[in-house]
Structure 1
Amino acid sequence: MSLDEQRREALVSERILESMRDGVITIDLTGRIMTFNAAAGRILGKKPEEVVGCSFGQVFLMEESFDDFNEVVFKAVYEAETTHTIEIALVVDGREVNLFVSSSFLTLESDSGEDERLGVTVVFTDITEERKRRKIKRLFGEYVDPRIVDRILARGAVDAQTSRRETMTISFVDMRDFTGWSERLPPDRLIDVLNRFLAAMALPIGAAGGITDKYIGDAVMACWGPPFTEADTQAADACAAALGQYEALTDLRRELAEIEIPGAERMDAVVGVATGEVIAGDVGPVSSRNYTVIGQTVNLAARLQEAAKTLGHPIIVSEETAAGAGDGFVFRELERIVPRGSRKPESVFALIGRAGEVANADVQIAALHGEGLSSMLSRDWATADKRFSACLALDPADRSAARMKARVAAYADNPPPDDWDGVWSEPMVSGPK
């Protein structure tokens, strides 16, 4: 090989070394640093031009933080036949750096065919971010939806500007009569029942593509929509999850009975679902921020879950959710309410079931009930009474129809004011003048 070819080969090797993302150090038999590439300088906080040609001991042995790094280098000398690898943590310029380090003895075959010892090669990779990812997944993987974990990892440092307004669908599912359960069961059995309930309620959320946002005592909050799920199907997905949660109660009751939980047959739940604008982002102090959603839609979903306890239907959804879910479900408009904490009247709907799976009588009742409400709003009390009476003819135990029929009778005797918004209020009975 000519001298020019040797120089070109050396130049190519040098360029390759400098372009590597891994740090590379070579040390000769006297302990002098022969090569120290740019990546090594960046990772270890050293300037290559100030290090090359210096004694390894002079550069590294005087700093206690490099003790683990030095040990790997010395192992290559003492155990020359083995390549040594280890993960270590160093403090470089006041920050912790995690490295995957590999060291081996550097040899070159001589003209005689024997290996000539030249020194030690150390190759190391900065795995700080990878280690953070592993730590976050280890800490939160069992409690937080993996998509939220991945979002945190992908984003890196918390940025306040990542919060944004989105149209999302929010659901709350809550255990009925938790106070009663807590009074009947000892603490260990109560926690077991609660954990089983929360697990049973969370599974349908994941099956429908939702995010389990948080557990709040005996309730589960979930959300659907960008950036985690499809915007167009979010309402339908949330409704599918709500039906799945209610259906899961059958297996849960059987499971509780098998472990001899008294009153297992009374295990029940209510669900509230609302669709609308939320603010999505990281909430809380810097040391313990959590990704969540806040806003009036979240409050509405929580209020609908509360309202389900008195409206006589286990799954209550907002008008926007019912409209967005499409024809795959059967809904029944119940009435207009003003949710606690709000001044805006809301039309609320019961989710009866999936289209094609609901009994014809229930489909008829849903249609008649909706017509009765429309007649009420137009102050046609006679027609409204007929529609609600027809509902009761199909199902005499229908609480909603009975409630509306009673209200129609009250309004027929004492009509609401001209600015009536459809929300029930006790009629003002005129007294003697």
Structure 2
Amino acid sequence: MSDVEHRDARISERILESMRDGVITIDLTGRIITFNGAAGRILGKDPTEVLGHSFAEEFLAEESFDDFNEVVFKAVYEATTMHSVEVALQVEGKRTDLLVASSFLTFDGDDGEEQRFGVVVVFSDMTEERKRRKIKRLFGEYVDPRIVDRILSSTEAARNRRGDMTISFVDMRDFTGWSERLDTDALVDLLNRFLAAMTEPISAAGGITDKYIGDSAMACWGAPFTEDATQARDACRAALGQINALPELRTALVANGVEHAENLDAVVGVATGDVLSGDIGPPSSRNFTVIGNAVNIAARLQEAAKAYGQKILVAEETAKRAGEGFVFREIDRLTVRGSQRPVTVFALLGTPEDVDPAVLELVDTYQSGLAAIRAREWDKARKAFNACLEIDPVDVPAAMMLERVDAFEADPPPASWDGVWRRAQRAMINHPPLK
């Protein structure tokens, strides 16, 4: 062998050993002439003990290699240039899934005709890839594909992350009443159609539907799944989409004969803040989820939306980050159950082009009333809130604030009062029902 031929052979050997795919070549006598390290690792054989041996001796005696052998022999006995198929082997007691390709090796003879001189078999370990595909098939209908991809592609440490996210909860109103009026099948159908209608705007706005909790759905926006800079805006867009989806859903339910379907309603709570996201739970039943104060606030705002007579309530941080493309109405400063941290709460009314000028007048008048009540100017506050009711006689927040003015005038808050309506204080007021 010349120096050039020797060099080329060494290069070929190094290339074969660096490959992640297994490579076997067999001459026409059935002798194994190439068996790289990857082939040994995948098939559980020592290359030094296999090279030069008969392929039949090494593989035909083991039943677990039957499908693998069939692909190899197709290259010998069939005229097709390349054969490729997925096969499953039992290697050292474990299932190994392979993508195996085989073809014959040829050279041009002295007469110019193509001559066969052996077979090459190349195979890849597809075990992990098959597992990934199976998981995606199993969970694709229930879990956002981005969550599945993150679970499959990340280490446990990388899957867990702490940072700002925007969380929303949407909830069907009067679910207890619906459950009393409908039989089981009709109730399940109603729930499925409601949650489907509420989930679509989440997806359209790029959000992750984290979970369904009875008649409510929790969603999140932010890194690593969505654009961090637009998370609050996207969540607000989704919340408006959820409320706007209700008329079409009501119409469809009425057409299907669901009684009182015209009364179907929903409320949404949205909050932005620091959360922990990742695989939470014991090893036997972990789930991807998001936990933190922002999750609690969003859930409580969804509850509070009913009492304040609003469709969508958002926390101050969400309103700030959402920007000027939305109309917000400050509703109150309060503490929510499970937290002592004050939250300034806003109602999301829509986009500027969609909000009626009369509503904008009510927003400004109500804001002046809030400023007056916080300044302990009871008469001025009462006048502002009465003006709100002249604009909208069924405005729940204005009616609530009038009751609060009366309560504070009769029993003024302490000098240290910071304008926050706390849970103990809220017990003083009989909140009117949502109109």
Q: TM-score, normalised by structure 2?
A: 0.90
- Per-residue displacement from partner, 1:99-135 (whole Å, max 9, x unpaired)? 1112234444443555555443222122233323322
Matches of 1:207 and 1:353, distance apart in 2: 17
Cα distance change of structure 1 residues 15 and 410 upon mapping to structure 2, 3 Å threshold? closer
Deviates more, 1:46-55 or 1:358-367: 46-55
Cα distance change of structure 1 residues 258 and 97 upon mapping to structure 2, 3 Å threshold? same
Matches of 2:210 and 2:72, distance apart in 1: 47
User: How many residues of Structure 1 are paired with residues of Structure 2 in the alignment?
Assistant: 425
Shift in Å, 1:6:
4.4
Shift in Å, 1:176:
1.2
- Per-residue displacement from partner, 1:407-426 (whole Å, max 9, x unpaired)? 21221122123343431446
Shift in Å, 1:17:
3.4
5+ long unaligned stretches in structure 1: 429-433
Q: Equivalent residue for 1:311?
A: 308
Q: Equivalent residue for 2:37?
A: 38
- Per-residue displacement from partner, 1:205-260 (whole Å, max 9, x unpaired)? 11112111111121111001111222222111111110110000011111112222
SS of the aligned residue for 2:225 comes to coil
Q: Equivalent residue for 2:48?
A: 49
Matches of 1:253 and 1:195, distance apart in 2: 14
SS of the aligned residue for 2:301 comes to helix
Q: Equivalent residue for 2:130?
A: 131
Cα distance change of structure 1 residues 144 and 23 upon mapping to structure 2, 3 Å threshold? same
1:249 pairs with 246, 249, 253, which one? 246
1:185 pairs with 182, 187, 190, which one? 182
1:367 pairs with 336, 348, 364, which one? 364
5+ long unaligned stretches in structure 2: 430-435
How much identity, in percent, do the aligned residues show? 63
Q: Equivalent residue for 1:409?
A: 406
User: Are 2:231 and 1:237 aligned?
Assistant: no
Shift in Å, 1:78:
4.4
Matches of 2:426 and 2:31, distance apart in 1: 90
Shift in Å, 1:19:
3.9
Q: Equivalent residue for 2:432?
A: none
1:285 pairs with 282, 285, 291, which one? 282
Cα distance change of structure 1 residues 39 and 402 upon mapping to structure 2, 3 Å threshold? same
SS of the aligned residue for 1:328 comes to coil
Q: Equivalent residue for 1:154?
A: 153
Q: Equivalent residue for 1:100?
A: 99
Q: Equivalent residue for 1:431?
A: none
2:296 pairs with 291, 294, 299, which one? 299
Query: 1:411, 1:427 within 8 Å by CA — same for their partners in 2?
Result: no
Query: 1:416, 1:427 within 8 Å by CA — same for their partners in 2?
Result: no
Shift in Å, 1:265:
0.6
Code of the residue aligned with 1:295 in structure 2: it is G
Q: Superposition pairs for residues 79-90 of structure 1, below 5 Å? A: 79=78, 83-90=82-89
Matches of 2:264 and 2:273, distance apart in 1: 31
Q: Equivalent residue for 1:222?
A: 219
Matches of 1:426 and 1:177, distance apart in 2: 22
Query: 1:415, 1:427 within 8 Å by CA — same for their partners in 2?
Result: no
Code of the residue aligned with 2:25 in structure 1: it is T
Shift in Å, 1:294:
0.5
Q: Equivalent residue for 2:58?
A: 59
Query: 2:151, 2:159 within 8 Å by CA — same for their partners in 1?
Result: no
Deviates more, 1:63-72 or 1:192-201: 63-72
Matches of 1:166 and 1:253, distance apart in 2: 38
- Per-residue displacement from partner, 1:271-330 (whole Å, max 9, x unpaired)? 011111111111123344322210121111111111111110111111221222222111
Cα distance change of structure 1 residues 77 and 405 upon mapping to structure 2, 3 Å threshold? same
Matches of 2:160 and 2:311, distance apart in 1: 33
Code of the residue aligned with 1:150 in structure 2: it is D
- Per-residue displacement from partner, 1:335-370 (whole Å, max 9, x unpaired)? 233322223332221111112321112112112212
Matches of 2:148 and 2:406, distance apart in 1: 55
Matches of 1:286 and 1:32, distance apart in 2: 49
Matches of 1:182 and 1:261, distance apart in 2: 13
Q: Cα RMSD over matched residues?
A: 2.4
Q: Equivalent residue for 2:433?
A: none
Shift in Å, 1:15:
4.1
Query: 1:80, 1:104 within 8 Å by CA — same for their partners in 2?
Result: no
Query: 2:150, 2:159 within 8 Å by CA — same for their partners in 1?
Result: no
Matches of 2:140 and 2:348, distance apart in 1: 32
